[in-house]
Chain A
Amino acid sequence: MAKSDKPLGTSPDHYSVRVGGLTAATEVQQRLLQAQTRRHFLGTCATGLGAMFFATMLGGRASAGSAAASTGGEPRLNFARDPARPLAPLPPQFTPKARRIIYLHMTGGPSQLELFEHKPVLTRFDGRDCPASFLAGKRFAFLTGTPKLLASQYPFHQAGKDGNWISDRLPYLEQHIDDVCWIRSMHTDQFNHAPAQLLILSGNARLGYASVGSWVTYGLGTENQNLPGFIVLLSGGTIPDAGKGLWGAGFLPSVYQGVQCRPRGAPILYLDNPPTVSRALRRRMLDVIDEIDRQTHAEFGNPETVTRIAQYEMAFRMQLAASDAMDIHREPAAVLARYGAKPGESSFANNCLVARRLAERGVRFIQLYHAGWDSHGQAASFALNPGLGFADRCRDVDQPTAALIEDLKRSGMLEDTLLVWGGEFGRTSMRENRGGQLMKWVGRDHNPSAFTVWIAGGGVKAGMSYGETDDMGYEVVRDRVEVRDLHATMLYLLGFDYHKLNYPYQGLEQKLTGVNPARVVAEILA
């Protein structure tokens, strides 16, 4: 693209890659181009061309509330923005319960049977062959033959006012057992990490779909124009199996994708000035670039050029704002201790503290990933045995998660922040027997049929336990919640009907929940 001999902004390549905020007129044009499939064109050949002409003529008058879909679909909400402010806040469809989301993703699939699911019957049958019915029609990543049932490796006890069961691995979170809502009946249809992660974080098991965070930022924008609306923080050593597409914008304009911030050094790569460039010099450079961009815009009228100017300006403001938000040195020692955070480290604890600081600064969607939950038992660091890898992961997240809940609660922010904690799937009730062998360490394979996710905060019933699995914790037997139902519920809490938060692409009104019917889990709404 840089080598193109055409002026910047007119290359079709450039145009299609980044479609930032558009003026109403070009938005209509853009939608028409995307929504106009061959079928539409043939179907409405006679009137279609006229309609395109009129849409262009009338496009500038699109009203603030909603715009009729130009290809004859349902009326849809209008998300058009001033191209110079593509992240400008827009009101939700209806009064929201939550204003922002902090999503703590436990990459790899934490075992619900070692944390939340107390199953005495499974303990009783520990070491016995699993019933044949557990295997019929199932696909596994590693289980072969007839695997043995495996009891929980950690003791359980009851806690909180409703006597919910929890294992001894999460003593800090246990203090907040009555602040969160346990969804014990989550169900996904993907049994491998990358597709399952994509499904729960972008609504589709394939690459190229818009992540939850980018949908939310597209729908609501962000209040703080000096920071991205969607920030991603990683810990645990590895990036998720599905890669950075997990926080991609897919078909949405790329300005809505997540921005990954690093724990050490400059939080955002290439944002700081090089040693020889002062902030004043950077300002003068930007002024010159802006001037050239403005001339380009005057000549070609491409709204992408305006978006580009806006992005440069935002990056300039972010030089100060991002460093300030990420800088946990200034937190009181007592707070650092409560989170178990150590400035300069790369840890889930630091990220939780940063998450709180970002939430306070009006960031709309804060996504944390903590890797290392894939407890197959293939190595000590991935073993469920007492004291090995799984116990370390629990220690990594337990104290900081609880501290985050407590901070949000103390400051009143839990009233309008939605917290989500969970992996991409659960783990089997059977012990892993990779290659048909008894393995040195204890582990479990992936189980898409049942896992636990907890959510807390704005609009959610606190201390509720929803859904139920069978006596072995293997299948959901009551109140199944599909991944798309969880998404529909999250969007509802933010003030959207999941049908209405859509984007025309490839002839379809794309939605986070996909094409299958979804359900807002009304039972867990406060």
Chain B
Amino acid sequence: MTAASVKVPAYRFRLSLAAYLVCVVVTTALLTGVMMLFRPALAYSVRELLGLEPHPRATPGSFYTVRVAPVLEEHCTACHGKNRQKAKLRLDSYPAILRGGRDGPVIEAGNLHDSELFSRITLPASDDRVMPPSSKPPMPADDATIIRLWIAAGASGVLPVSQIKNAPPPVAKVKFVEVDEAAVERARAGQSELVRRLQKRYPGIINYESRMSANLEVDASLLGASFGDADLRQLAPLSDHIVWADFSGTALSDASIEVILTMKNLRALRLNNLHLRNSTILPLSSLKGLRSLTVVGTPIAAESISTLRTEGVRVYDGNNG
């Protein structure tokens, strides 16, 4: 029992722990209070967290979502977004924009003069406070106009896009889709072996429509008269995948039409300079996806052509210019 002399009573330990915790809480609260005095943005987010602020939101069809967000995305969020927050400012969401940055709010709804965001983007290019900075592509006038109209109208997240008149028309953009290799490989799985074999046998004429597709294009015209009915039968197992085919100038006869009719997904078919009879052309109506047919130099009765045309197929027989 020699240890008894150094034994600390348990209640004292509990007391000091409690005192310590109280100190921590009080200090944190004090510090937070002080910080909130100097950091309005933080104050805002704390109030928001406690439910003291109305939660700002942006709706899908709003002027903000449709017009403003894309402008900010293009010119601002690389430095004021998820990855970097220069001046502690984020412009990649509606609440974040209202919250502002290190120096407070950047937008004063309805008041362009006091909206830092607007004044920065309209500074002359020579000013070193101009945004985007001079090292980056400048914001086009139309984009600045969109920001101006939005702030002037109250910087709302819900105001519908139609409510702001005389906004510059949006610039059309194309969307590039990434190649999803795994998905493409899956889509091609059932046929890739056969495609490879036939590509070896008929070099250059069987190709995938694109790197993202399992659809095939066949250009047998390059082989000319050396491509005949027997060759087309070799391709028959791939019929479902063929969306574009050119058999011009080949030795295909009427017998091949049956195989062509199995190509249910054909969009364009080139049959120039073939020795076909009229009766064999009409059934092409059953190819529902066919949009374009070329029969220059292939004798086809006019009624055949007009039937297909009434079904919306563009038929080129060498006479229409």
Contact = CB atoms under 8 A, between A and B. Distances in A.
B210 A224 contact: no
B294 A91 contact: no
Interface stretch (B83-91, B151-159, B171-179): B171-179
A362 B219 contact: yes
Contact of B268 (A91, A224, A415): A415
Interface in A491-526: 492, 495, 497, 499-500, 517, 519-520, 522-523, 525
Contacts of B173: 519-520, 522
Interface in B155-191: 171-174, 176-177, 179, 181, 184-185
A446 to B, nearest CB: 26
B288 to A, nearest CB: 19
Nearest to A516: B137
Given A66-B179, A225-B204, A522-B172, A412 B211 contact: no
Interface string A200-236: 0000000000000000000000011100000000000
Interface residues on B, range: 35 or more
A400 B137 CA distance: 43
Interface string A333-377: 000000000000000000000000000011000000000000000
B278 interface: no
A48 interface: no
Contacts of A416: 268
B207 A89 contact: yes
A223 B172 contact: no
B211 A65 contact: yes
B174 A525 contact: yes
A415 B293 CA distance: 11
Interface residues of A, number: 37
Interface of B: 137, 171-174, 176-177, 179, 181, 184-185, 203-205, 207-213, 219, 221-222, 268, 270, 272, 292-294, 296, 314, 316, 318-321
Given A94-B211, A225-B203, 16 more contacts: A63-B181, A65-B181, A66-B179, A88-B204, A91-B213, A95-B213, A362-B221, A362-B222, A410-B319, A412-B294, A415-B268, A492-B174, A497-B176, A523-B172, A525-B172, A525-B174
Interface string A398-442: 000000001001111001100000000000000000000000000
B212 A224 contact: no
A415 B294 CA distance: 11
Nearest to A94: B210
B22 to A, nearest CB: 52
A278 to B, nearest CB: 24
A339 to B, nearest CB: 14
A260 B177 CA distance: 36
A517 B179 contact: no
8 contacts: A91-B207, A91-B209, A92-B211, A223-B219, A224-B222, A225-B203, A412-B292, A415-B314
Contacts, number: 93
Prevailing SS type, chain B contact patch: loop
A91 B222 contact: no
Nearest to B208: A91
A23 interface: no
A66 B183 CA distance: 13
A412 B210 contact: no
Most chain B C-beta atoms within 10 Å of own C-beta, residue among A406, A412, A520, A523: A412
A148 interface: no
A336 B173 CA distance: 42
B204 A77 contact: no
Nearest to A63: B181
Nearest to B192: A64
B204 A223 contact: yes
Contact of B179 (A65, A223, A410, A492): A65
Contact of A415 (B172, B219, B292): B292
Interface in A62-98: 63, 65-66, 77, 85, 88-96
Contacts of A94: 176-177, 210-212
A109 B285 CA distance: 48
Given A223-B204, A225-B203, A412-B294, A93 B172 contact: no
A525 B173 CA distance: 10
A160 to B, nearest CB: 15
Contacts of B294: 411-412
B210 A93 contact: yes
A522 B173 CA distance: 6
A74 to B, nearest CB: 10
A148 B227 CA distance: 65
Contacts of A499: 176
Contacts of B209: 91, 95
A223 B222 contact: yes
A223 B210 CA distance: 15
Given A65-B185, A223-B205, A95 B210 contact: yes
Contacts of B268: 415-416
Contacts of B272: 411
A77 B174 contact: no
A295 B115 CA distance: 76
A519 B173 CA distance: 8
B210 A85 contact: no
Contacts of A522: 171-174
Contacts of B292: 412, 415
